[in-house]
Homo-oligomer: A and B are copies of this chain.
Amino acid sequence: MPLLVVGSVAIDNVETPQARRDNLLGGSATHFSYAASFFTEVQLVGVVGEDWPPEHTALFQSRGIDTSGLEVMAGGKTFRWTGRYEPNMNDRETLDIQLNVFGRFNPVLSEHYRRAPYVFLANGVPALQLKVLDQVPGCRLAVADTMELWIQTAHDDLKTLFQRIDGLVINDSEAKMLADTDNLVLAGHRVRAMGPKFVVIKKGEHGAMFFSEYETYVMPAFPTENVIDPTGAGDSFAGAMMGYLAENDNFEPETLKTAMAYGILVASFNVEGFGLERMQQTTRDDIEDRMTAYRKMLSF
């Protein structure tokens, strides 16, 4: 089933303790779309500027990603982000951010896109996320991401959003901030009580946790010693998770759990290269091989 994602498309410069790479294809919707494209048909909604290299669009299309919702805004420049990772490859510092056309992003969905059954609202201004939700009244599953900035500056809109989405995918520091506790289990329950039917807390190298009314569980990350660039790990996690749900067109508890596992595995590929480099060398078979190893790892 088609999976619609609305979010940022960017050009990233990434510095790690080992290396620096400039002009990488990045952004939340980018990593999400690529990861989801292993599983289902993706409809990408985003905005870029006149400086956008057309080969990036071609890359999306080579993955079967529908880019008719990727607006090229005249007279503007693409969103640019420059960041540096600490030696722990988890904490990072934003060295430079130029919102450019993304600062004027106001997605208006085509009639076709408005019928998308699966929708992911990547991190963005909560008021905009709500405006997108208004345009997909018939969607079967709407899941959103957010970030600390919006928890601090747009709390009321976020609370409204939480009442209207089915699922929320956030990282551990965001969950702690939202729930005002350092205990992630408690945080998960508290955030779920704010509205979403389920909450996923991403813990980076420590995996992810799932909270619904009936279930609480934790799944570890797939152990890789080859962490090159964590950028987009959370977005590729969400992309694979949502992609698997859309592929199977259901979100029963058992499907959700398998989807979480795919999210974890695809994210483990994503971090093994700069930008999308490792992902571009990855096949669905590679993912299935890692799934076999992951299932074996968790059985005893």
Interface pick from A6-14, A33-41, A215-223, A235-243 = A215-223
Q: Is the CB of B218 within 8 A of A297?
A: yes
Q: Which 5 A-B pairs have the closest CB atoms?
A: A185-B225, A218-B220, A206-B206, A257-B300, A186-B225
> How many identical subunits does the complex contain?
2
| Residues of B with C-beta under 8 A to A227 | 183
30 contacts between A and B (CB under 8 A): A87-B182, A88-B182, A89-B182, A183-B225, A183-B227, A185-B223, A185-B224, A185-B225, A186-B225, A203-B206, A206-B206, A206-B207, A206-B220, A207-B218, A207-B220, A216-B223, A217-B223, A217-B297, A218-B220, A218-B221, A218-B223, A218-B297, A219-B220, A254-B300, A257-B300, A258-B300, A260-B300, A261-B300, A295-B300, A298-B298
How near does chain B come to A202, taking the closest CB pair, in angstroms?
A: 13
Q: Which of under 10, 10 to 19, 20 to 34, or 35 or more describes the interface residues of A?
A: 20 to 34
Complex CA–CA separation, A254 to B260 (angstroms)? 25
| Residues of B with C-beta under 8 A to A217 | 223, 297
Within 8 A of B (CB), among A169-193: 182-186, 189
Most chain B CB atoms below 10 A, which of A87, A209, A225, A254: A225
A182, closest chain B residue (CB)? B88
Complex CA–CA separation, A182 to B184 (angstroms)? 22
How near does chain B come to A24, taking the closest CB pair, in angstroms?
A: 21
Chain A 84-99 per-residue mask, 1 if CB under 8 angstroms from chain B, else 0: 0001110000000000
Within 8 A of B (CB), among A71-124: 87-89
Known: A184-B223, A219-B220, A298-B298. 20 other contacts (CB 8 A): A89-B183, A183-B227, A184-B205, A185-B223, A185-B224, A189-B225, A206-B207, A206-B220, A207-B218, A207-B220, A216-B223, A217-B223, A218-B220, A254-B300, A257-B300, A258-B300, A260-B300, A261-B300, A298-B299, A299-B299
